Structure 1
Amino acid sequence: MRVRTSLAATLAAGALAAGLLTSSGTPAASGAAVTAAGDQPAVLDTYLADTWKSFTAMVDPDTGLVSDNVAGSLAGNSRARYTSPTNIGAYLWSTTVAEDTGLISQKEARARIKLTLKTLATLEIHEPSGMFYNWYDPQTGEKLTTWPENGDPVYPFLSSVDNGWLATGLLVVARSDSTLAERANAIRQKMDFSWFYDENAGAKLTADQPVGGQISGGFWVDPPNGCSQLVALKPGTDPVYQTCHRYGAFNTEPRMASYLGIAAGQIPTKHYWGPVRTFYNDNCDYSWTETKPVGGWQTYDGIPVFEGALPYRDVDVVPTWGGSMFEALMVPLFVPEDQWGPRSWGVNHPLYVHGQIEHGLDDAQYGYWGFSPSNNPAGGYREYGVDALGMDAGDSNAGGYTSDQDRTVWNQPYDGCRPGDVDPPAASEYGDGVVTPHASFLAYRYAPDAALANLAKLRANFDAYGPGGFYDAIDVTSGRVSRRYLSLDQGMIMAALGNALAGDDMRRYVSTGAMQEKLEPMMREEVFAAGVR
């Protein structure tokens, strides 16, 4: 068992230390002092122990592969018959958290991880890139070509995002247990993120100005059913069918794959400047986005970057794509962006949390907050977020993540390009609001008091807590609850609790060596347009 410490030093970093946000989640007056939190509340131990139970229920005892989800009862026969690289990565780092916090012994953790690594080494992968396909059967390890729930065909896909999270889990294992490092590294070091990198992606401002490049969503080996581009990426290898889209927005979860590729030397460091903070505002070409940004141009390493932010209530924020919590705050579970970039991420992350809180409590007046993709209490899975914190404007029928089931959006004006509504919808116009508990755990670092209070209210006022911790989502208007546990969402909770209860263990394992050497100087140099107005 490793040393268990407080998160006090972490809470004193970044924007909290700068006085931009109080622990309750409200913007502080300029220059206000912020007192670091002391020892963490005992309720976090309860949340940790119960959340870990959901993982023990989701894991196949023969393969060590975790299922995508399980029923709230934790019954073994309710495990989903599919898993993904992200799910497996989440189980690996969650097992490490369980050991680091003393929840399980080193012997148990090592046995669990060893079995998972043994099975991982046998899974079918795309050999030239070392990347894993998106869906496998957790009972057999077979790559899925038919969806087990309905028999629909599966077009095996290799995702940049999902492989990024698996590589993260493998890195945690390799750096937390020297006896497992060789096995974990043997798998991870075959993974080549350059297969996702497109050096020419990103709109050029003029023909002679360089761009940093962007990554694709991934690729298929065989022609898929839908839009794709046949690309010959590596000499001596067969071409693959890449997605038609590139990840153009920076403040989204694909940046973890970007960071891993940069750290490994597979993607050039200039890629950090490739995805946009917001699209620039000097013409109407980008008026399809949420609203007109504030900010101006800066040049870093010879690459022009529009340092834009979107105004929302009393703050300016670098948006995510859809306005959800996990887009912004899953990556800093592992990479200390707020510490390395005190004038960029260190400002933006807490203000993003503040925006989510204000939307839930003031705009929509749900009485609760925390909006992120999760199970839909009415059935299925859906993206949830705060429309105004996302880059994609969308409308009531398509695009734009919303906090309610009715997809209520704020159709903001874009000055000089399109009319809109200056004020957000009235609280009475919002439909059933859907809150997911994992969003509060992601916010805990930046607004601990507000996060704990939100979780306590959810637990007290709804049937929101079961044998595996918080259920995945709550419709706080109707009271309907999605009584399932998702390994991705539970994995975010475990990582957040590991950081809180085990001295930032997830960050310590991932963000050393080449990642820090290559990324910290760029983060420290950059200045976001985000701030309190």
Structure 2
Amino acid sequence: MNKFFQKHVHFLLVFSAIWSCTSKETTQESPVKATGYARHVELTWPAQEGAKAYEIWVKNSGKNDFSKRATVKDTLYMDFVNDLGNNLELRYRITALSQGGSSSEIGTQQVLTKDLTDEQLIDMVQYYTFRYFWEGAEPHSGMARERIHLDGDYPQNDQNVVTTGGTGFGIYGLLAGIDRGWISRAEGAARFEKMVNFLEKADRFHGVWPHWLHGETGKVKAFSEKDDGGDLVESAFLMQGLLAVREYYEDGTEKEKAIATKIDQLWKEMEWDWYTQGGQDALYWHWSPNYGWEMNFPLEGYNECLITYILAASSPTHPVPASAYHKGWARSGGINTDVEAFGYKLTLKHNGAEKMGGPLFWAHYSYHGLNPKGLKDRYADYWQENKNHTLINRAWCIDNQDDHKGYGEDLWGLTASYSVNGYAGHRPGHDLGVITPTAALSSMPYTPQESLKVLKNLYYNYGDRVFGRYGFYDAMSPEANYYPERYLAIDQGSIVAMIENHRSGLGWKLFMGAPEIKEGLKKLDFTSNP
């Protein structure tokens, strides 16, 4: 049994209690399955041959007649029952509509809704978000799809394009899923085996993967015209997750150890030193077999890329010198600043956002495995920096100088996400009235109670508009009536990874336990005392 599994038996029982206490199944024969939560019921049923749609009907306890809730084409429906009340006893009936217009009953099911504790609510949100990487993964590769649009609208026809960085984030969710019993250990191993086998054969450029890959073939999909080769940062996000898997399987079965060995080989084949352009002074983000170094994007702090230098310094085969970190990332000390906003200080100069900090993903992406608690070097206390960054972002939304609808202590969080007109890097000073759930939820380690207020508001007051089969949708704007039923892997991945770190520290324990990482941090003069 994995050494982390026993520590989470309590949380497994909590989730099991939700599942058993809030759901009653009348008979095993009914093909309709129902699970009740605080404000919604999830219904599933098998697809019926010849059906063009399905009707969902409900009857409250004590009522004689069913009333229709919805007509859908899917075989999963989430019924938000705020209008019916709390702590309900409901009976659902699902009917299939044929092409000819006739209807036939599939089955009925009884279910309870029940008030949830804070821990149960967090557990539910984490579980739903985990499903993006488990149920929503691209089937051939096992990797995370770049995006999932429940509306079925994919303008670039990229529904099977997978993301390396987003997969790395989601790996922490899959590990949490094993630990919490949402999937079995054998199921988890099978998924990681598929993923690693795919990555072995997929396009790599000096051991480094591109940002996007075609899930069916493993061939590169260009992120932009000249970004058709190695993406060092996205590959760092991926390897941050893979090394956690390697550590998780350290004392595993023969199959699990074989997965760990393959990961170790992929890690050793990454040529971090190639991405210095032959110098000693910085890492560079991109290299293309067609355009070489033309993008010429040095990694200079501070933004989301800290983990890239940690891994590059830690490589057992292709390391970069400490000078690359101190001269490049830290700009020979120029990374430091002394600014204050809303009473909170920042000691790192956030690129392009020096006064109030960048989008909140900068406090998340490098820290799914890298534990910021007690992490310090000559430039910053990373826990305090990330906490203050989060509190400034929150304070900006509460201050709400632009009077955006809905903003407040229970609705804050600006980061990069879908936006009303495309995609935007939302942050203080560049605020378009769009709240991105991942911003506050992924900040739960830094601001547990403040983030919980946002989670509760999103679920209890906006749930029917912002919560779907893979958790909270990517973005929302009450003033623009903007509630797209769309997900992005990088945002869902941060939620499930950082919530797990808040609850158990699982990702932090695994990644920080890797011996190379310990040595790499020492090499860069970091101290860590979590």
Using the size of structure 1 for normalisation, the TM-score is 0.67
- Asked if 1:69 is matched to 2:120, the reply is no
Post-superposition Cα deviations, 1:333-375, rounded to whole Å, max 9, x if no partner, equal: 2112331229621321111111011001114352221111111
Opposite residue 3 of structure 1, the aligned amino acid is Q
Query: Following TM superposition, by how much is the alpha carbon of 1:198 offset from its aligned partner in structure 2, in angstroms?
Result: 5.6
Shift of residue 304, structure 1, vs aligned partner = 5.2
Contact 1:214 1:246 in 2 (8 A): yes
AA at the equivalent of 1:507: W
Q: Distance in 1 between matches of 2:158 and 2:295?
A: 30
User: Corresponding residue for 2:475?
Assistant: 473
Structure 1 stretches of 4+ moved >4 Å: 73-79, 152-155, 303-306, 520-526
CA deviations on 1:307-344 (whole Å, 9 max, x unpaired) are: 32323232221243241111133212211233122962
Q: 1:486-525 to 2 correspondence within 5 Å?
A: 486-501=488-503, 503-512=504-513, 513-519=515-521
**Structure 1 residues 244 and 518: CA distance shift in structure 2, 3 A:** closer
Check whether the contact 1:58–1:76 (CA below 8 A) recurs between aligned residues. Answer: no
> Could you say which residue in structure 2 is the equivalent of 1:142?
219
Match of 1:308 in 2: 337
Say if 1:100 and 1:498, in contact at 8 Å, map to a contact too. no
Correspondence for 1:268: 321
Q: Return the letter of the residue paired with 2:249.
A: D
Structure showing greater relative contact order (alpha-carbon pairs closer than 8 Å, 6 or more residues apart): 1
Distance in 1 (alpha carbons) for counterparts of 2:235 and 2:335: 29
SS in 2 for 1:456: helix
**Cα pair distance change 1:137/1:518, threshold 3 Å:** closer
Question: Offset at 1:455?
Answer: 1.8
2:373 to 334, 338, 344: 338
How many pairs were matched up?
392
1:220 to 288, 311, 332: 288
Matches of 2:526 and 2:141, distance apart in 1: 43
**Per-residue deviation at 1:85?**
1.6
Separation in structure 1 between the aligned mates of residue 184 and residue 466 of structure 2, nearest angstrom: 29
Q: Does 1:380 align with 2:422?
A: yes
CA separation of 1:184 and 1:304: change in aligned 2, threshold 3 A: closer
CA deviation after TM superposition for structure 1 residue 115, in Å:
0.9
Matches within 5 A, 1:50-449: 50-72=128-150, 80-126=159-205, 129-144=206-221, 156-178=228-250, 179=256, 180-197=259-276, 213-223=281-291, 240-249=292-301, 251-264=302-315, 266-275=319-328, 307-317=336-346, 318-321=348-351, 322=353, 323-341=358-376, 344-364=381-401, 366-367=407-408, 368-376=411-419, 378-387=420-429, 402-404=430-432, 433-449=433-449
Deviation digits for residues 467-524 of structure 1, max 9, x if unmatched?
11100001132231121111111111111122133x2111111113232233258565
State the Cα deviation string for residues 61-92 of structure 1 (Å, max 9, x = none): 23323211112369999972322221332333
In structure 2, list runs of 5 or more residues that go unmatched: 11-116, 251-255
Change (3 A) 1:340 1:374: same
RMSD of equivalent CA atoms = 3.1
* Residue 264 to residue 521, structure 1, CA distance change in 2 (3 Å): closer
Unaligned runs of 5+ in 1: 8-38, 201-211, 224-239, 280-302, 388-401, 405-432, 527-533
What SS is found at the alignment partner of 1:191? coil
Q: In the alignment, what sits opposite 1:18?
A: none
Structure-2 change in CA distance of 1:175 and 1:69 (3 Å) = same
- How far apart, CA to CA, are the structure 2 residues paired with 1:6 and 1:270? 45
Where in structure 2 are the equivalents of 1:9-28 lying within 5 Å? Answer: none
Do the aligned partners of 1:216 and 1:242 also contact (CA within 8 Å) in 2?
A: no
Q: CA deviation at 1:175?
A: 0.9
CA–CA distance in 1 between the matches of 2:158 and 2:130?
15
Cα 1:346–1:94 change in 2 (3 A) is closer
Shift of 1:136: 1.5
- Residue 3, structure 1, aligned to residue 11, structure 2: no
In the TM superposition, residue 158 of structure 1 has moved relative to its aligned partner by 1.3
The answer as to whether partners of 1:198 and 1:213 remain within 8 angstroms in 2 is: no
In the superposition, the TM-score normalised over structure 2's length comes to: 0.67
Which whole-Å CA distance do the structure 2 matches of 1:170 and 1:524 have between them?
22
Shift in Å, 1:166: 1.4
Q: Give 2:122's aligned residue.
A: 44
Secondary structure of the 2:310 match is helix
Going from structure 1 to structure 2, the CA distance change for 1:488 and 1:380 (only over 3 Å counts) comes to same
Distance in 1 of aligned mates of 2:296 and 2:479: 38
